[in-house]
Copies of this chain bind each other. A is one copy, B any other.
Amino acid sequence: MGNEQMSEKLEAPIIIVNFKTYSEATGKRAVDLAKKAEKVNRETGVHIGVAPQFADLAAVTEAVDIPVFAQHVDPIKPGSYTGYVLAESVREAGAIGTLINHSERQLKLSDIDQVIRIMRENCMLSLVCANNPSISAAVASLKPDMIAIEPPELIGTGIPVSKAQPEVITGTIRLVREVNEKATILCGAGISNGEDVAAALKLGTQGVLVASSIVKAKDPYMIMTEFAEATKGRR
């Protein structure tokens, strides 16, 4: 499936599952998990994307027909960069975009800017993570396609979105919108169950970026179904 068609598949609300480097989502198990995501997508109609490890990208994109993201891309063009991640290589492996600046893989400011540009040149989507309100606003100025906001109140304290002060989310959204009207805003923290997903959307985000609550679940298919159904309340 071409990148253009994939992008069309990314209308909100969207759930993106970050596979991290979890054993439960490495190699064959990455493919298995992606197939479950695809099944939930087919059954619920809700858009679900996955972000497997680099070496698993090709097998995953071959096995499923849902949007696949890389977890990181380096700010490089083709050349002598042994051991780095080239946009063209993940695109050829079938990814339609990449996470950028995940809190576990933070980048220099100028590199975030550079990777966003490279994604654009390659007709790929950029999803930049930002772990506080002022950083979210800074990221928004760089005009990525998507921003995952991770309010520190939701990370540090373990408070779920559904129990948090609404301003924690709405304030960040407002800051982002002041400089960027178009970027899709995802909630990237505090999501453990369907109630949290519904709360995140109700507060104004267009989706969620999740990891362990799905990947480490006893029954990821069931949890993804719960998350997907929860997005429907607002439609």
B93, B104, B141: the one within 8 Å of A81 (CB): B104
Q: Does any Cβ of B come within 8 Å of A203's Cβ?
A: no
Within 8 A of B (CB), among A109-165: 109-113, 130-132, 134-135, 137-143
Contact A83 B55 (CB under 8 A): no
- The residue that A179 contacts in the complex, of B26, B71, B141, with Cβ under 8 A, is B141
Q: What count of chain A residues pass the 8 Å CB interface test?
A: 66
- How far is A211 from B81 in the complex, measured between Cα atoms in Å? 11
Contact across chains for B109 and A20 when beta carbons are under 8 A apart: no
Are the C-beta atoms of B20 and A82 separated by less than 8 Å? Answer: yes
Chain B residues with CB under 8 A of A81: 20-21, 104-105
A28 at the interface (CB under 8 A from B): yes
> Contacts A21-B82, A101-B109, A138-B142; is A89 near B178 (CB within 8 Å)?
no
Label chain A's interface by main secondary structure. mixed
Question: What is the oligomeric copy number?
Answer: 4
Q: Does A197 contact B (CB under 8 A)?
A: no
- Determine whether the beta carbon of B92 is less than 8 Å from that of A28: yes
> With A and B bound together, what is the CA distance between A139 and B108 in angstroms?
12
In contact, B58 and A82 (Cβ under 8 angstroms): no
A72 at the interface (CB under 8 A from B): yes
Q: Which residues on B sit within 8 Å (CB–CB) of A26? A: 78, 86, 88-89, 92
**How many Å from the CB of A189 to the closest CB on chain B?**
13
| Minimum Cβ distance to chain B for residue A201 (Å) | 23
Smallest CB–CB gap between A17 and chain B, Å?
12
Task: Give CA–CA (A138, B176) in the complex, Å.
Answer: 11
| A-B CB proximity, top 3 nearest | A27-B92, A72-B83, A83-B105
Interface positions of A (Cβ within 8 A of B): 18, 20-23, 26-28, 51, 53-59, 70-72, 76, 78-86, 88-90, 92-93, 95, 99, 101-113, 130-132, 134-135, 137-143, 175, 178-179, 211-212
What are 17 of the A-B contact pairs (CB < 8 Å)?
Answer: A21-B80, A21-B84, A21-B86, A22-B78, A28-B92, A55-B57, A80-B211, A81-B104, A81-B105, A82-B99, A82-B211, A83-B99, A83-B105, A106-B110, A107-B108, A137-B141, A141-B175
